[in-house]
Chain A
Amino acid sequence: MSLYRDTGVVLRVQKLGEADRIITLLTRRHGKVRAVAKGVRRTTSRFGARLEPFGHVDVQFYTGRTLDIITQVQTVDAFGVGLVDDYPRYTAACAVLETADRLVPEEGEPALRLYLLLAGALRALSGGERDAGLVLDAFLLRAMAYAGWAPAVTECARCGAPGPHRAFSVPAGGSVCPRCRPAGAASPATETLRLMDALVHGDWAVAEASGDRARRECSGLVAAHLQWHMERQLRSLPLVDRQGRVEEQTT
């Protein structure tokens, strides 16, 4: 019998049998881990709600034949508590979880940087100080950089000519110079690309000073770039509730 311990974020839970669940976590040292939590759906379970999505937990696993078994859980951060009380933040956090899950296809493959990005994004979303849409887009941009296909923001995606450039093409890989600009490229506002650059580099002063139009355009481009590189569409991204922002605009 072999036991190991790690810290991770609960990405997904699936029912198994009468009372068990399969919990998918992104852990600090073991990458993605799928493990069984026995009896977790009973109200008397000692795991309680610690293994719900968004939970940042310290877990002890027992190595099983096909799936590992969770034997102990302690909460590091109960991110879910702050998220379920705010629907826009909850939906943004769902898109964060699904993206992290999809970017690590293999179990057991270390993904420390993505784990740190994930925990950081959930901390920011549940804390509530920063705009949920900006936190989500910053996470998506950095997660794409982790995966190796971040959009070019300041230089031309094709020839590398320094920008900023006026055109943006998802198939070309981001912003493009006038000479490389393919047909069908978008022409986002200068402020939009400045915002995107600020989100990539964590320059929150610039990001938070951005206007609604730039934010909307930026999240549209980020989503298009992400979906272009994903084999299957993300389910949660179209369901991200940006209502708060729309309301601000109309009043």
Chain B
Amino acid sequence: MYEGPVQDLIDELGRLPGIGPKSAQRIAFHLLAADPADIGRLQDALQRVREGVVFCEVCGNVAEQSICRICADPRRDPKLVCVVEEPKDVLAIERTREYRGRYHVLGGALDPLSGVGPDQLRIRELLNRIGTDEITEIILATDPNTEGEATATYLVRLLRDFPGLAVTRLASGLPMGGDLEFADELTLGRALTGRRAV
């Protein structure tokens, strides 16, 4: 334990995702030794994020204006909406360059152990979009883990009653480059349910 502000800084850094106690300490001491101009720029960037980041009114993605670039793009198919947990998932799917529809960002997954239920996610907003827009297909692209699967299950139950709406789930299967015998039961089970004719 260090004294005063240095320990406070280490504690704050350590709360960030992906930063363990050792990295927090390393970053803290790097900042202590850094040029004041560098620190100033970091401070500015943090301040601007706090003040300036808005979320798209339609899809919930991070945006610069009230409607994000993707929702405002007339070339993107408005009939197709891909539901993801986080903005970073939008980026991941965009990088494939395979998808021409739009998105809906839930803001997480249903995780009762962390106190996250349906009211904490942008689920009502999704239902409103389906009710008003010309959406014909929803692609569920929540994470292939326990919370993500449970979230997809919940959404299927809600969405199956909309007439004329197709609901699909991203195929989840075996990671490329692996051996079948090393696949765990959950992954193998999902790969079997999602099998396709060849």
Neighbouring B residues of A143 by C-beta, 8 Å: none
Q: Does A75 touch B at the CB level, under 8 Å?
A: yes
Bound together, the chains give a CA A75 to CA B178 distance in angstroms of 19
Q: Which stretch of B26-34, B79-87, B109-117 is in the interface?
A: B109-117
Q: Does A64 touch B at the CB level, under 8 Å?
A: no
Pick the residue among B110, B157, B185 that contacts A75 (CB under 8 A): B185
How many whole Å from A251's CB to the nearest CB in chain B?
14
Please, what's the 1-or-0 string for B4-44, where 1 marks a CB less than 8 Å from any CB in chain A?
00000000000001111001000000000000000000000
The answer to whether B153 touches A85, judged by C-beta atoms less than 8 angstroms apart, is yes
The answer to whether B114 touches A80, judged by C-beta atoms less than 8 angstroms apart, is no
Neighbouring A residues of B2 by C-beta, 8 Å: none
Which residues between 215 and 251 of chain A lie within 8 Å of chain B, taking CB atoms? 235-236, 238-241
The answer to whether B153 touches A81, judged by C-beta atoms less than 8 angstroms apart, is no
Neighbouring A residues of B116 by C-beta, 8 Å: 239
The listed residue with most B CB atoms (<10 A of its CB), out of A15, A50, A236, is A236
The answer to whether A17 touches B20, judged by C-beta atoms less than 8 angstroms apart, is yes
Which residues between 151 and 192 of chain B lie within 8 Å of chain A, taking CB atoms? 153-154, 157, 175, 177-178, 182-187, 189
Interface size class of B (residues with CB under 8 A): 20 to 34
Q: Does A174 touch B at the CB level, under 8 Å?
A: no
Which residues between 1 and 51 of chain A lie within 8 Å of chain B, taking CB atoms? 12, 15-18, 43-44, 46-50
Neighbouring B residues of A112 by C-beta, 8 Å: none
Residues of B within 8 A of A (CB): 17-20, 23, 110, 112-117, 144-146, 149-150, 153-154, 157, 175, 177-178, 182-187, 189
Which 4 pairs show the lowest CB-CB distances between chains A and B? A48-B184, A236-B112, A84-B149, A235-B115
Residues of A within 8 A of B (CB): 12, 15-18, 43-44, 46-50, 52-54, 75, 78, 80-81, 83-87, 90-91, 94-95, 97-98, 235-236, 238-241
| 23 A–B pairs (Cβ distance < 8 Å), ordered by A | A15-B17, A17-B18, A17-B20, A44-B177, A44-B178, A48-B186, A49-B145, A49-B146, A49-B185, A50-B185, A54-B146, A75-B184, A78-B186, A81-B185, A83-B146, A84-B153, A85-B153, A86-B153, A91-B112, A236-B112, A239-B112, A239-B115, A239-B116
